[in-house]
Structure 1
């Protein structure tokens, strides 16, 4: 299930190199009458970039409609087909309309993948490894970003169509891997139980838990899941409106706010606009620094595999957010004290590296966990679709607005934009303290109970520890009772 994640990270890292290719500009650009050079118009750049997000949102909605009908495997296979056709259309060099359609189809695939893979991980994980699996998910995403930067750097020497076709065409490999993964991975037990295929659900649990198919653990897992789904189905058909009613409203708003703050901390700025920004501030080797940032993001995502369960969601967000905000404050202060100095430029680069090193294992992973973890089995598909559609929209909006804040021809903030990221960082930490509950170590049933009882976020950690102790005691009592009965 890790391969689809790489495709998301890869796409986010390659487009700047493609748009900068001379042959690509010659093919899709217009002639400047005064200079005689060809260039990509702002409209062309905007359409080629933004329509991916349109496709992504459509993919999120489509996955919500189809996921329970065709299964997680069927959804991923559909994504593989859409992904492959989209890449082929972009690589073909056909007129701009074909490239645009390819971008939409690619975005559709990414939307399906970004929605279905987290749901699949939630379906197949336990209370002790949900965060760890999500961290592995993000590890492959960040690896994809590094791969994209590396390939873009390697093909930048070509002046012919190889400068952009190799970069885009490499993604066909990912389309094939997605299709293979969709055919080889077991279907989600939750989907199989909904379809009434209990024998296949047992087989799926047996594979995922590495337990005998007739073992007590597999039998108990299927029984518990069936009871849970029967209770949910007794409430009638599911609808999108249900996501905004009762205790589900708090869960949906939690995911939506997490989607906003994950982006608003400034990460999209550094990865989507960092190269151009470093060039404008006279930083040496801006392309190399962008690659260093991508590598930093990848390397420092790895510790989250341990930290997200050991420290929990809240502590990761609070400590990570505090470090991120501090780096941006120092960057702004040094620039204000000595603008255009070597110290200011060095702090700008160092601040960006430390910011991403703090973001990757905390908000980078914690954000995706909180965007997918708090929901019930009944509404998980719908709430995840809503939140992910919002996430991609916010990512596009922040990327769209940033140049107007920073560029000398517009807001002209320059390095002072660091104060903006400091402010959003502080607000995000305050929000996390008051509104993000600790869900590490809790079963799906415990998560439901936490929200139904309205446990405040600040008390959730103690509540969770108490809940785990009570359940452990009850389990031991049952075991002792069984032993005594046998004796």
Structure 2
């Protein structure tokens, strides 16, 4: 049974994921609002229509990364100073302030400041929330909790698209202000949850408060305070904290030394390629892109894409542990590549035709379904779980800085790629995404090891032994067979044949 307090705590963490998902979708609809376009756009001399220039769209979308980078850097300092609770409180306040400024309909400069403040909140949340989940979970629940976190992230996108669809018929500022202001409710959820949540047990042990850490872990994992399971979990935390102390003060350069270099490059690579597959394009520019491609009901299609994203993220909570990280990434990447190349080829052969439009919409739907089930979830898991307890905060911060910079780069470049006044690639941009998906597939095969079911100690062992990614599944099977052999060797009195494990 899950306690009421535990529900509030995880509700807060998942609401923080919803904030990230909502931000990726709400501006998409706002940029399509006629009132917003007249407020921040320019008027064509020929027919008098109002439009947002590529520069303005890039400015509003991409400068968010200034705030997110500041937020991720800030999270690195806040983490040990005010703790995970305090970091989430700061994030909620910064986020709410940024939302309020944007909803006020201020001039361009002030609107950008609001985006930066909002980004700071997102940056802190993107580092602290997944890290808090990992620190509070066991090896058997780690992947599922992060998967559920990404599910709520996708639900935020659905909320944004749904509210944009519901307000698109308004002619005045309500057509976009309601969409923007709704984020205040999400920020309030994070604020309340952060007040109620206990501090991270790992951080409490670091501060020399083992009794409080034990109580915190009991609440977060819903374990009896006097159980042996809780004692084992606390022993594991103490083990890694003592090892960290034995190595002295943490230095940033350690993130790029020894086996930690591979862990850091794993997180950085996933941060880049998760975005470079094109997902930001579909959710950041889907509405306006479908409009310019000649497809009607663009708001409805964007909502459909968001719903598909949320629905197909749900199975990932099961598949991430049942099939494993590598299998999900490889098979999902194959489907994603097909859904990008087919619409691009059809558009090249019959541009503007009914088949062209249908292939584009169908390709986008299937692409997002495959992405949500695999790369969307596994990306966050891989950016969160491979780090050691000693360097988790530092390496998570570096990874999220790269993630947000990658998001900014794609957001900044995309309008110039697809806009008719710039490169005018239109649907041909799918060729670019196809190439990036193929690159991501090769990288996943060569670099992403299977970490499903491994304890923190076993994850360290995998990296320390330099097990190649493509051999990680076989290595884990041999590890389990050795453990079974050792257990059988320890029970000869029960009639079990003693087996000597082959460690070769």
TM interval, shorter chain, is over 0.9
Tell me how far apart the structure 2 counterparts of residues 352 and 427 of structure 1 sit (CA, whole Å): 19
Deviation at 1:128, TM superposition (A): 1.6
* Structure 1 counterpart of 2:410: 398
Is the 2:67–2:120 Cα contact (8 Å) retained in structure 1? yes
Tell me how far apart the structure 2 counterparts of residues 337 and 178 of structure 1 sit (CA, whole Å): 49
Tell me how far apart the structure 1 counterparts of residues 237 and 425 of structure 2 sit (CA, whole Å): 54
Change (3 A) 1:219 1:278: same
- Structure 1 window deviating more from structure 2 (375-384 vs 153-162): it is 153-162
Deviation at 1:37, TM superposition (A): 7.0
Matches within 5 A, 1:407-418: 407-418=419-430
SS in 2 for 1:273: helix
Change (3 A) 1:16 1:447: same
Matches within 5 A, 1:465-480: 465-471=477-483
Does 2:332 correspond to 1:316?
no
* Structure 2 counterpart of 1:110: 122
Is the 1:255–1:371 Cα contact (8 Å) retained in structure 2? yes
- Structure 1 window deviating more from structure 2 (277-286 vs 33-42): it is 33-42
* Structure 2 counterpart of 1:484: none
* Structure 1 counterpart of 2:497: none
TM-score by length of 2: 0.90
- Structure 1 window deviating more from structure 2 (162-171 vs 73-82): it is 162-171
Matches within 5 A, 1:15-94: 15-29=27-41, 40=52, 43-94=55-106
Deviation at 1:46, TM superposition (A): 3.5
- Structure 1 window deviating more from structure 2 (305-314 vs 286-295): it is 286-295
Does 2:344 correspond to 1:332?
yes
Change (3 A) 1:164 1:405: closer
Superimposed CA distance per residue, residues 371-416 of structure 1 (whole angstroms, 9 cap, x where no aligned partner): 1111000111111111111111111111222233333443333322
Tell me how far apart the structure 1 counterparts of residues 58 and 431 of structure 2 sit (CA, whole Å): 27
Tell me how far apart the structure 2 counterparts of residues 168 and 327 of structure 1 sit (CA, whole Å): 32
Is the 2:58–2:415 Cα contact (8 Å) retained in structure 1? no
Deviation at 1:44, TM superposition (A): 4.2
Does 2:338 correspond to 1:307?
no
The match for 2:205 among 189, 193, 209 is: 193
Tell me how far apart the structure 1 counterparts of residues 146 and 118 of structure 2 sit (CA, whole Å): 23
* Structure 2 counterpart of 1:352: 364
* Structure 1 counterpart of 2:310: 298
Deviation at 1:473, TM superposition (A): 5.7
The match for 1:101 among 79, 96, 113 is: 113
The match for 1:203 among 215, 219, 222 is: 215
The match for 1:145 among 157, 181, 188 is: 157
Matches within 5 A, 1:243-392: 243-392=255-404
Deviation at 1:90, TM superposition (A): 1.8
SS in 2 for 1:213: coil
Unaligned runs of 5+ in 1: 482-487
SS in 1 for 2:372: helix
Change (3 A) 1:397 1:128: same
Is the 2:28–2:285 Cα contact (8 Å) retained in structure 1? no
SS in 2 for 1:372: coil
SS in 1 for 2:383: helix
Change (3 A) 1:183 1:421: same
User: How many pairs does the alignment contain?
Assistant: 481
CA RMSD for the aligned pairs?
2.2
Matches within 5 A, 1:438-453: 438-453=450-465
Deviation at 1:168, TM superposition (A): 1.3
Is the 1:124–1:189 Cα contact (8 Å) retained in structure 2? yes
Unaligned runs of 5+ in 2: 1-12, 494-504
Tell me how far apart the structure 1 counterparts of residues 187 and 134 of structure 2 sit (CA, whole Å): 23
Superimposed CA distance per residue, residues 211-267 of structure 1 (whole angstroms, 9 cap, x where no aligned partner): 221222212221221121111121121122211111111111111111111111111
- Structure 1 window deviating more from structure 2 (160-169 vs 351-360): it is 160-169
Is the 2:32–2:288 Cα contact (8 Å) retained in structure 1? no
- Structure 1 window deviating more from structure 2 (471-480 vs 132-141): it is 471-480
The match for 1:225 among 190, 214, 237 is: 237
SS in 1 for 2:82: helix
- Structure 1 window deviating more from structure 2 (112-121 vs 157-166): it is 157-166
Deviation at 1:334, TM superposition (A): 2.5
Tell me how far apart the structure 2 counterparts of residues 135 and 204 of structure 1 sit (CA, whole Å): 22
Tell me how far apart the structure 2 counterparts of residues 452 and 313 of structure 1 sit (CA, whole Å): 20
Does 2:496 correspond to 1:460?
no
- Structure 1 window deviating more from structure 2 (303-312 vs 389-398): it is 389-398
Change (3 A) 1:40 1:343: closer
Tell me how far apart the structure 1 counterparts of residues 51 and 325 of structure 2 sit (CA, whole Å): 46
TM-score by length of 1: 0.93
Tell me how far apart the structure 1 counterparts of residues 101 and 474 of structure 2 sit (CA, whole Å): 53
Tell me how far apart the structure 1 counterparts of residues 343 and 395 of structure 2 sit (CA, whole Å): 38
- Structure 1 window deviating more from structure 2 (95-104 vs 179-188): it is 95-104
